[in-house]
């Protein structure tokens, strides 16, 4: 039975996570570029609020992805990440059968 996550799976997940982070950053830029001036105060406020919520959601997603990256780097065997503290439980990276869940 393995003692930790499969380094190959961790590297693959880390690559996907980095791609997600890049896509989210680009999407945030695209959303903020959609700001238009409607000329009407109420519709403008609704549009601005909606775009702000979308941008905030994208930022939060990127932040959470950044939080998970160090744990994935450790699982992938990255030497620099081994010394980086993380609040992510290592059990979150374990496969179901490694957690006793089948």
Banded pLDDT at 32 (limits 50, 70, 90): confident
- Residues 40-82: tens digit of each pLDDT: 999 999 999 999 999 999 999 999 999 988 888 888 886 544 4
Stretch 32-41: mean pLDDT: 88
Banded pLDDT at 1 (limits 50, 70, 90): low
What's the chain's average pLDDT?
Answer: 78
| Cα–Cα distance for residue pair 102/91, rounded to 1 Å | 14
How big is the CA angle at 53 (ends 47 and 56), to the nearest 5 degrees?
Answer: 140
Contacts of 95 (CB under 8 A, 6+ apart): 5, 6, 9
Read off the pTM. 0.63
Within 13 Å and on the Cβ side, how many CA atoms surround 102?
0
């Amino acid at each position: 039975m393995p003692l930790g996550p499969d380094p190959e799976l961790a590297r693959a997940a880390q690559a996907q996570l980095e791609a997600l982070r890049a896509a989210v950053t680009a999407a945030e830029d695209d959303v903020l570029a959609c700001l238009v001036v409607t000329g009407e105060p109420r519709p403008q406020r609704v549009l601005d609020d909606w775009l702000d919520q979308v941008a905030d959601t994208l930022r939060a997603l990127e932040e959470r992805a950044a939080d998970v990256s160090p744990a994935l780097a450790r699982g992938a065997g990255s030497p620099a990440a081994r010394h980086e503290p993380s609040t992510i439980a290592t059990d979150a990276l374990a496969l179901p059968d490694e957690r006793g869940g089948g």
